[in-house]
Amino acid sequence: MRYSHRYLPMTEQDEADMLQAVGVSGVDELFRDIPDALRYPGALPISPPLDEPSLWAHLQELAVRNTAASQCASFLGAGVYDHHIPSVIGHLISRSEFYTAYTPYQPEISQGELQAIFEFQSYICELTGMPIANASMYDGATALAEAGLLAAGATRRTRLVVSRGVHPETRAVLRTMARGLGIEVAEAPCSAAEGTTDLSLLEQAIDERTAAVLVQSPNFFGCIEDIAAIEPLAHAGGGLLAVSVNPLSLGLLQPPGKLGADIVVGDAQPLGIPQSFGGPTCGFFAVAEPLMRRMPGRIVGQTVDRSGKRGFVLTLQAREQHIRREKATSNICSNQALLALNAAIYLSVMGKRGLRETALLNMRKAHYAAEAIAALPGYGLPAAAPFFNEFIIKLPGSVSCSELNRRLLGDNIIGGFDMGKAYPELAGHMLVAVTEKRSREDIDRLVARLGEFK
Amino acid sequence: MTTDRIPPLPSEDLPFIFDLSRPGRIACSLPACDVPELPPERHIPAALLRDVPAALPEVYEVDVVRHYTALSRRNFGVDNGFYPLGSCTMKYNPKLNEDAAKLTGFGGIHPYQPEETVQGALELLYTLQSDLAALTGMDRMTLQPAAGAHGEWTGLMMIRAYHESRGERRTKVLVPDSSHGTNPASATAAGYATVTLKSDARGLVDLDVLRAAVGADTAALMLTNPNTLGLFEEHIAEIAEIVHEAGGLLYYDGANANAIMGIARPGDMGFDVVHLNLHKTMSTPHGGGGPGAGPVGVKRVLEPFLPAPLVERRADGTYFLDDARPRSIGRVKPFHGNFGILLRAYAYIRSYGPAGLRRVSECAVLNANYMLSRLSAAYDVPYPRLCKHEFVLSGARQKAFGIRTFDIAKRLLDFGFHPPTVYFPLIVEESIMIEPTETESKETLDRFIDAMLRIAWEAEHEPDTVLKAPSRTDTARLDETLAARKPVLHCDCG
């Protein structure tokens, strides 16, 4: 029987009419420019097709074989967090005018997307305290790496100093990207007692070849970096300061833009974006005025149409690959538009009060949990620096983090990140995240279970 | 009502969400604090805290819903109509795949959960790796890269690692003058200089030019095949031989893979590295500019350099993430790539299977050739022969009447179509690049063709109609020069 499929409209009659118009006798003839030796004989060895009911059943079966962190009491963070996602977000980003559109290169029929991104840029400026933000990046990690590359270009220097408090995977991405351009990456250690970048070692690490200092706050240990103290060190040598932030923490914390940062980036996942096994998320990227024309990625600007009516377009495109090719500021050719929209809707829903209150809930619950765990015999809080919604605990001597997590899972609790996996010196330490979704009962249950391990 | 004062018309400008703000309104509902409510400075020193709250709008839930719904109505997606954007493969985005991404077992999993709690996700990724490798004729895939350009750079970094592992320092990447702008930009990001090769009169790689350009400094040649003119590089076997003999590698830009699924494989053509754009070929939605995914496949010799981690299968049938890759180029993206996109692509492949994917490419190519044959009546065709899934016209004939390709694109908006890609590739004057995809019916293609023929007539007989277009859209033509000269890139939120 003739092949038919619900996504393919071509009938036998269509095919005959179209072949006739083209002037060929069969579909095969359309491929006669592909040499016979290169034609694939037979059927590809790929997974067989499924009808719609079977496909849905198969996908559901795969999905139920995963334990959703969102269905347990999850204390796992380390860059991806289990926050409440208001219902309106899913409904609005599922408007297919948004999700089935391409990049808004035709502004007359893309004003919705363009205005949404313009509002996203405005939100990022407000949160970070920076004057200019782009339309978004792949994720927070590549955004920080691009910040380093931007700084190298702007200062004509070839060395970056990154705090060891930056997410280990972000540092790994940075190393790969820097290697491509022959940029050296030096790491500045953190103080074990404080859990923040060691300022005197940082000062020693910065030299006259240093293009930028890259830090994260709250950092991977959950600790809030003293940006005001890092800023003069970063700038003393003539380099720039790039800060990666958790945007939710900015509901409460001083924005880095007010503390002298030149570039502020981060991942918008905490702003209502599903965990989705870590991707896709959405990076944001904001700069000080002098760096505007060096920014990577797309930017939406306001303008007017022929009748003087307000409108929006993609702008400053002379930086981008489709115009500048090998001289572009970055090879990025997309943004995470749908997730930038997601984050913008989240911020609209939260509003002035909601964002601050959500940040407060995170902070208070995390501190409640930290104090309760610290009171358990054998447990401790090794880092003295202030934290937001995530903190490191030291486990009792004999307890292995992975074994502990396995036991917790049996009680429907997803435990924290095993620090030993990323920092060998921190084996036996766990990074615990507490969001607004964790009730006091969840926390008490975790504390009670931890208390059973000594 | 008195008649001496006419009430003004309501404003047509769509307000910013910030304009809707009224103190005291709220759109969220938060749990009560069930732990001690100490003042924040008891936990965090006051110096680290914001002096004033972020000035976000104060709106209620209906404002949010109506605002973004109003914005969505001023946007055009594939679900609104035909979107023949060349090189972008704007095919239909299946709805079941969207539903799948929303399943809690996919959307709600954390990347650092214990392996035994994410076996379904790992199996999906493993199968997708294998299916994409089989589809492209490569030995191994990484699913990490977030986009096509990200895949290009990942591939070039592996090529670099390969040459370095052989003690060679090659410095140049060759690209045809018809290539995507991302190719040279990615070469720069990987530390390479770009050499641009002039195409021959038939729009293909000129073998003599290639022979003259390759040498001991050639790291790779990047090619799209079919190329951006929609033409298959017939001499691909010789091209591969020339590059390989010089010690270089061959990179396949998968932007146009929709033309050849199940018909020919880059791996069999001699390509060493391939990226696919899942948001093009595998129907995952473009999302207004992202997220996408750009998996990269390599031949055996490049396998050691793949970014960490890869999904592996144990003898007992369980799956795990393999981070122990000592010769890897390192990480290119945190976690496991854009999982939410990867799972949609998997669902797409399973909806077709091998025979279906082949039929997809056949239909895409027949649609393109049909459009080309009908449109050649009114538009110049720089390379008049069979095309693959897309083709390029020139607006040179219309330019003689003072109508540019830009104007033609704007006039198409009045007929309810998204215009084709314009002014790319750069080697065709006033280029119009059309890619219909396989998911459009003959009636849709005919309506679009009729519009294009009408515009060609208007260009000759009533050019003003075209020059004034669009007239039926939310805004008229926008002043892009003003936007770039006096950048206004944000507004106040509060």
Please give the C-alpha separations between residue B174 and each of B178, B183, B234, in angstroms, as whole numbers: 12, 9, 18
Contact B14 A111 (CB under 8 A): yes
| Positive/negative CA dihedral, A54, A56, A57, A61 | positive
Q: Give me the residues of chain A with pLDDT under 50, please.
A: none
Q: Is residue A140 part of a domain?
A: yes
Identify the three-state secondary structure at position A140.
helix
Residue with tokens 């981060």, as numbered in its chain: A266
Are A391 and A341 contained in the same domain? no
For B305, the closest chain A residue by CA position comes to A176
Contact B374 A311 (CB under 8 A): no
Give residue B209's pLDDT. 98
Residues of B in contact with A324 (CB under 8 A): 181, 185
Separation CA A97–CA A61 (nearest Å): 30
pTM of the predicted protein model: 0.97
Please give the C-alpha separations between residue B57 and each of A354, B23, B123, B235, B417, in angstroms, as whole numbers: 10, 8, 43, 60, 36
- Nearest-CA distance A359 → chain B (Å): 10
Nearest CB among A21, A112, A323 relative to B75 is that of A112
Which 72-91 residues of chain A touch chain B by CB within 8 A?
74, 76, 78-80, 82, 86, 88, 90-91
Give residue A329's pLDDT. 85
Contact B72 A95 (CB under 8 A): yes
Peptide bond into A107 cis (omega under 30): no
| The amino acid at B238 | E
| Positive/negative CA dihedral, A371, A375, A380, A384 | positive
Residue B80's pLDDT band (cuts 50, 70, 90): very high
Mean pLDDT value across residues B161-177:
97
Q: Is pLDDT of B10 > 80?
A: no
- Nearest-CA distance A201 → chain B (Å): 22
Q: How many CB atoms lie within 10 A of CB A453?
A: 17
Contact A228 B47 (CB under 8 A): yes
Are A217 and A361 contained in the same domain? no
For residue B15, the number of C-alpha atoms closer than 13 Å in the C-beta half-sphere is 14
Are A275 and A410 contained in the same domain? no
- Nearest-CA distance B7 → chain A (Å): 21
A55 touches chain B (CB under 8 A): yes
Q: Which domain holds residue A434?
A: 70-82+352-451
Among B276, B272, B243, residue whose Cα is nearest residue B261: B276
For residue A422, the number of C-alpha atoms closer than 13 Å in the C-beta half-sphere is 19
Contact A354 B26 (CB under 8 A): yes
For A227, the closest chain B residue by CA position comes to B48
Contact B490 A253 (CB under 8 A): no
Tell me the average pLDDT of chain B: 96
Separation CA A134–CA A122 (nearest Å): 10
For B187, the closest chain A residue by CA position comes to A326
Separation CA B284–CA B345 (nearest Å): 6
**pLDDT tens-digit map of A44-85:** 999 999 999 999 999 999 999 999 987 899 999 999 999 999
Residue B2's pLDDT band (cuts 50, 70, 90): low
Final residue before a domain boundary, out of A345, A362, A397: A345
Residue A97 CB burial class (10 angstroms; 0-12, 13-18, ≥19): buried
Residues of A in contact with B123 (CB under 8 A): 62, 65
- Nearest-CA distance B191 → chain A (Å): 5
| The amino acid at B355 | A
**pLDDT tens-digit map of A84-97:** 999 999 999 999 99
Mean pLDDT value across residues B292-316:
97
Final residue before a domain boundary, out of A309, A327, A345: A345
Examine the predicted complex and report whether its ipTM is higher than 0.95. Answer: yes
A115 touches chain B (CB under 8 A): yes
Give residue A328's pLDDT. 86
For residue B167, the number of C-alpha atoms closer than 13 Å in the C-beta half-sphere is 0
Q: Is pLDDT of B3 > 70?
A: no
Which 377-406 residues of chain A touch chain B by CB within 8 A?
386-388, 402, 405-406
B-interface mutation test, from A59, A335, A432, most B Cβ less than 10 A away: A59
Mean pLDDT value across residues B178-184:
94
**pLDDT tens-digit map of A373-428:** 999 999 999 999 999 999 999 999 888 999 999 999 999 999 999 999 999 999 99
Helices A168-180 & B148-165 angle (0-180, nearest 10)? 70
**pLDDT tens-digit map of B98-132:** 999 999 999 999 999 999 999 999 999 999 999 99
Are A114 and A247 contained in the same domain? yes
For B71, the closest chain A residue by CA position comes to A112
**pLDDT tens-digit map of B421-462:** 999 999 999 999 999 999 999 999 999 999 999 999 999 999
Residue A451 CB burial class (10 angstroms; 0-12, 13-18, ≥19): middle
Are A375 and A231 contained in the same domain? no
- Which residues are within 8 A (CB) of B7 and not within 5 positions of it... i.e. 6 or more apart? none
A416 touches chain B (CB under 8 A): no
| 3-state helix/strand/coil string of B357-418 | HHHHHHHHHHHHHHHHHHHCCCCECCCCCCCCCCEEEECHHHHCCCCCHHHHHHHHHHCCCC
Q: Where are the domains of chain B?
A: 96-351
**Number of independent structural domains in chain A:** 2
Beta bridge partners of A394: A380, A429
Among B430, B388, B434, residue whose Cα is nearest residue B227: B388
A-B contacts at Cβ under 8 angstroms: 700
Which 190-229 residues of chain A touch chain B by CB within 8 A?
224, 226, 228
Q: Is pLDDT of B1 > 80?
A: no
Q: Is residue A27 part of a domain?
A: no
Among B223, B219, B272, B209, residue whose Cα is nearest residue B248: B219
Contact B113 A97 (CB under 8 A): no
Are A376 and A280 contained in the same domain? no
Contact B147 A115 (CB under 8 A): no
Nearest CB among A34, A63, A97 relative to B73 is that of A97
Contact A92 B68 (CB under 8 A): yes
Separation CA A209–CA B41 (nearest Å): 39
Are A357 and A325 contained in the same domain? no
Residues of A in contact with B58 (CB under 8 A): 351-353
Contact B54 A251 (CB under 8 A): yes
Beta bridge partners of A214: A162, A242
Contact A109 B350 (CB under 8 A): no
For A405, the closest chain B residue by CA position comes to B114
Nearest CB among B40, B109, B231 relative to A277 is that of B109
Helix (H) or strand (E) holding A429: strand A429-433
Mean pLDDT value across residues B414-425:
96
Radius of gyration of chain B (CA): 26
Q: Is residue A435 part of a domain?
A: yes
Q: Is pLDDT of B325 > 60?
A: yes
For A307, the closest chain B residue by CA position comes to B476
Instruction: Please answer whether residues A342 and A93 qualify as being in contact, where contact means their C-beta atoms are separated by less than 8 angstroms.
Output: yes
Residues of chain B with pLDDT > 90, as a percent, come to: 96
**Fold of the CATH domain B96-351:** Aspartate Aminotransferase; domain 2 (3.40.640)
- Which residues are within 8 A (CB) of B211 and not within 5 positions of it... i.e. 6 or more apart? B242
Q: Encoding tokens for residue A259?
A: 């503390």
Are A443 and A310 contained in the same domain? no
Instruction: Please answer whether residues A335 and A298 qualify as being in contact, where contact means their C-beta atoms are separated by less than 8 angstroms.
Output: yes
Peptide bond into B382 cis (omega under 30): no
Nearest CB among A181, A253, A414 relative to B49 is that of A253
Q: How many CB atoms lie within 10 A of CB A4?
A: 12
Residues of A in contact with B80 (CB under 8 A): 96-97, 100
Mean pLDDT value across residues B329-342:
97
